[in-house]
Amino acid sequence: MKIVITGGAGFIGCNFVRKMLDTRPDSEIVVLDKLTYAGRKENLADVSDRISFIKGDICSKEDVARIGDCDLLFNFAAETHVDRSITDAGVFVRTDVIGTHTLLEHAQNHEVSRFVQVSTDEVYGSIRIGFSREGDPMSPSSPYSASKSGAEMLVQAYHTTYGLDTIITRSSNNFGPYQYPEKLIPVLILRAMQNQSLPIYGNGLNVRDWIYVMDNCDGIACAAEKGKNGGIYNIGGGNERTNLEIARTILQILGKPETLIRFVEDRPGHDLRYALDCSRMRELGWKPHYPFMDAIKQTCAWYAKNREWYSPLLAAV
């Protein structure tokens, strides 16, 4: 089997590459990645001899053509950081929407057996009570979540119009090894390790459901293998925490004082809460395996042990 993973040098993508190498050792794994600031070949250094790597842009038909025929195509490639989407929405529309369209055209023309679009719970928008279900309307708040919603609609259209076999996964907030230090948890870990202040938006009471990246990778693999053609699947960790709770937990693990917490001006359009109903995934036999506290401790330890990996990135923190 030939498996193509776009964005495979990024955070979730590189962990998914390792998942595929472990569970499908006889498959040919091809990674297509543009190697932007968050996609780094260093993320695949330990497995580089076991994969084929193509440096390319998913928006380029010529680059995408280089992947050729394949059985499974997983699209992890995306611009993902909400803050960046607020200051430069155009690049998100280009990569997340136009790039997905380019991949869908390739999948249709090369008879790809299954196209898996990796998306986000942010397409639902903020939810004060209850849990978002796959049939709920999308209500994106940021240019980032709007671009991911647009990409999903294209995937669904190619399924309905052309009969392309598709799966969409919507995951909650990921954390774990290799996450670029612009997202909340790696920023807080690295700043705390250096005794720097921990910036928290607003009052810190915005709630996210956190999932360890390997649990998400397991869920994506499960949906790809067992999911219904055209299906959409929520993948959440069931770990609702406020941003302030996350900061306090990291400080406790690292033995740092809470006086490092600093509240800053809130982000425009900052959603209050995301939470997912994952019943469909549980019907497929999936459930998260990593307890939150164990996973966050493992993540802190990973960054502490991998200074060579994060040192060139400290300017971003």
- What proportion of the chain, given as a percentage, has pLDDT over 70? 99
pLDDT tens column, 143-169: 999 999 999 999 999 999 999 999 999
Per DSSP, the three-state class of 125 is coil
Query: What pLDDT score was predicted for residue 311?
Result: 93
Domain spans of the chain, in order of start: 2-174+212-235, 179-208+239-273+291-316
Torsion angle defined by CA atoms of residues 142, 143, 145 and 150, in that order, rounded to the nearest 10 degrees: 140
The pLDDT of 213-241, averaged and rounded, is 98
The terminus-to-terminus CA distance of the chain in angstroms comes to 40
Per DSSP, the three-state class of 75 is strand
Asked whether the predicted pLDDT for residue 315 surpasses 80, the reply is: no
* Closest-CA residue to 230 (of 168, 278, 171): 168
pLDDT band at 177 (very low <50, low <70, confident <90, very high): very high
B/e letters for 58-83, b = 16+ CB within 10 Å, e = fewer, are: bbeeebbeebeebebbbbbbbbbbbe
Per DSSP, the three-state class of 240 is strand
CA distances 303 to 129, 197, 311, Å, are: 34, 18, 10
CA distances 148 to 98, 145, 253, Å, are: 11, 5, 34
**CATH superfamily membership of 179-208+239-273+291-316:** UDP-galactose 4-epimerase, domain 1 (3.90.25.10)
Pick the CATH number of 2-174+212-235 from 3.40.50.720, 3.40.50.12280, 3.90.79.10, 3.30.390.10: 3.40.50.720
Q: Say whether 42 is catalytic.
A: no
* Distance of alpha carbon 115 from alpha carbon 229, whole angstroms: 10
Instruction: Point out the catalytic residue in the list 124, 144, 233, 290.
Output: 144
Q: Say whether 144 is catalytic.
A: yes
pLDDT tens column, 284-301: 999 999 999 999 999 999
* Residue 280 backbone class (left: φ over 0; alpha: ψ -120 to 50; beta: rest): alpha
- What proportion of the chain, given as a percentage, has pLDDT over 90? 93
Q: Say whether 37 is catalytic.
A: no
Query: What pLDDT score was predicted for residue 119?
Result: 98
* Distance of alpha carbon 189 from alpha carbon 275, whole angstroms: 24
Side chain identity at residue 240, one-letter code: E
Asked whether the predicted pLDDT for residue 317 surpasses 90, the reply is: no
pLDDT tens column, 53-98: 999 999 999 999 999 999 999 999 998 888 888 888 999 999 999 9
Radius of gyration of the chain (CA): 19
Place of tokens 């008879």: 111
The pLDDT of 88-111, averaged and rounded, is 95
Asked whether the predicted pLDDT for residue 316 surpasses 80, the reply is: no
The pLDDT of 112-127, averaged and rounded, is 97
Secondary structure (DSSP) of 183-225:
SHHHHHHHHHHTT--EEEETTS--EEEEEEHHHHHHHHHHHHH
Torsion angle defined by CA atoms of residues 135, 140, 145 and 148, in that order, rounded to the nearest 10 degrees: 40
Instruction: Point out the catalytic residue in the list 96, 122, 165, 218.
Output: 122
Instruction: Point out the catalytic residue in the list 57, 79, 96, 121.
Output: 121
CATH topology match: 2-174+212-235 vs 179-208+239-273+291-316: no
